[in-house]
Amino acid sequence: MRMERYSRQILFTPIGEEGQRKLAEKHVLIIGLGTLGTQSAEMLTRAGVGKLTIVDRDYIEWSNLQRQQLYTEEDAKNRTPKAIAAAKRLRSINSEIEIVSHVVDVTPEELENLVIEVDLILDATDNFDIRMMINDMAIKQQIPWIFGSCVGSYGMSFTIIPHETPCLHCLLETVPIGGPTCDTAGIISPAASQVVVHQTTEALKILTENEQHLRGKLISFDLWTNQVVQMNVASMKKADCPSCGSEATYPYLSFDEQMKTAILCGRQSVQIRPPKKQERDLGELAVQLKKTGGKVETNPFLLSYTIGDERMVIFKDGRALIHGTNDIDKARTLYHRYFS
């Protein structure tokens, strides 16, 4: 390791040479390589983390280039998988560190293999199904992880230390549904960057073993309306939480709590069924989807949505049909993009 490369970081007293050496020994897993994941990956690569494992199931589209800073127009033209393009770019930034990339859809089985010998997990996903899996696996394996989320000009972050802080299940109790996404409400790049600032700063504290300086609070902000809130959530830790309580069962790692997918024979369609029956407000969803410029049609039982060549139908119980494909990964991506 060339210490002069990190000289300005080493001059920062809380890190110093000892902290830099510790950082070089650590392994970070980043799940999701969209706006949050690309920026976090680049920051940690430049900072000199020893090993970085990056994971994403998707490929690069033109709409990604506005804010996902590791990618180029050539990547969008070629529809290069995000994990492949990101790894290539990161290796060109810092050839001294180890970069491992995976083009996979994260499931509990995949996650169990990904977390081996990992010191920290960064959440850069776009849906709470995967976040709850991360939460349960991190608690089970006693790995710190940092939650991050943003949409529009709003963002939030919270650092979860197993058995010390509340976990995501404590804070949410059930998976939230029906909220806006970047594809229905848009996003400005500074909001994502602000989330990344909070996530990567907390990451550096953990990786250099300066945990005493962790924020310990959930932070949320709206850059457009100039609002910032730091909430002390310590009292929300639940002794009987199924994910982090004294008799934890890690429910989101079980089959019953996972999203179910099935290819419909002869119909070139994939059915997606959420883990539990839901009551979706189709009227509210229609309002969000109309902002995208797609065609929205509703009746008392379902909503039909068409944008470009993509056609999807969602029912009031949360079940959806993604038409025109037998690719389950693509169907899940579209579901989370528009209906999550």
Same domain assignment for residues 248 and 313: no
Q: Are 108 and 251 in contact (CB under 8 A)?
A: no
Q: Which residues are catalytic?
A: 182
Q: State mean pLDDT over 108-132.
A: 92
CATH value at residue 304 = 3.30.310.10
pLDDT at 279 over 90: no
Q: What is the pTM of this model?
A: 0.80
Same domain assignment for residues 120 and 18: yes
Considering 44-58, 246-260, 305-319, 322-336, the range whose residues carry the highest mean pLDDT is: 44-58
What pLDDT is stored for residue 158 in this prediction?
Answer: 96
Average pLDDT, the chain: 90
What pLDDT is stored for residue 49 in this prediction?
Answer: 98
By CB atoms closer than 10 A (0-12, 13-18, 19+), residue 60 is buried
Same domain assignment for residues 154 and 283: no
pLDDT at 21 over 60: yes
- Which of 204, 236, 253 represents a domain boundary (last residue)? 253
Same domain assignment for residues 126 and 50: yes
Same domain assignment for residues 165 and 32: yes
At residue 272 the predicted structure's pLDDT band, cuts being 50, 70 and 90, is: confident
* pLDDT tens digits, one per residue of 71-111: 999 999 888 899 999 999 999 999 999 999 998 878 888 89
What pLDDT is stored for residue 255 in this prediction?
Answer: 63
- Which of 186, 219, 253 represents a domain boundary (last residue)? 253
* pLDDT tens digits, one per residue of 184-199: 778 888 999 999 999 9
Q: First vs last Cα of the chain: how many Å apart?
A: 43
Same domain assignment for residues 154 and 70: yes
Same domain assignment for residues 130 and 19: yes
d(CA 127, CA 290): 21
Question: Which segment of 151-160, 215-224, 279-288 scores lowest on mean pLDDT?
Answer: 279-288
| DSSP characters over 228-246 | EEEE--GGG--TT-TTTST
Same domain assignment for residues 186 and 306: no
CATH value at residue 35 = 3.40.50.720
The total domain count for the chain is 2
Domain limits for position 311: 259-339
Query: Which residue is it, tokens 């990567």?
Result: 200
H-type helices in 173-302, by residue range? 182-185, 189-207, 282-290
- Which of 253, 284, 316 represents a domain boundary (last residue)? 253
At residue 143 the predicted structure's pLDDT band, cuts being 50, 70 and 90, is: very high
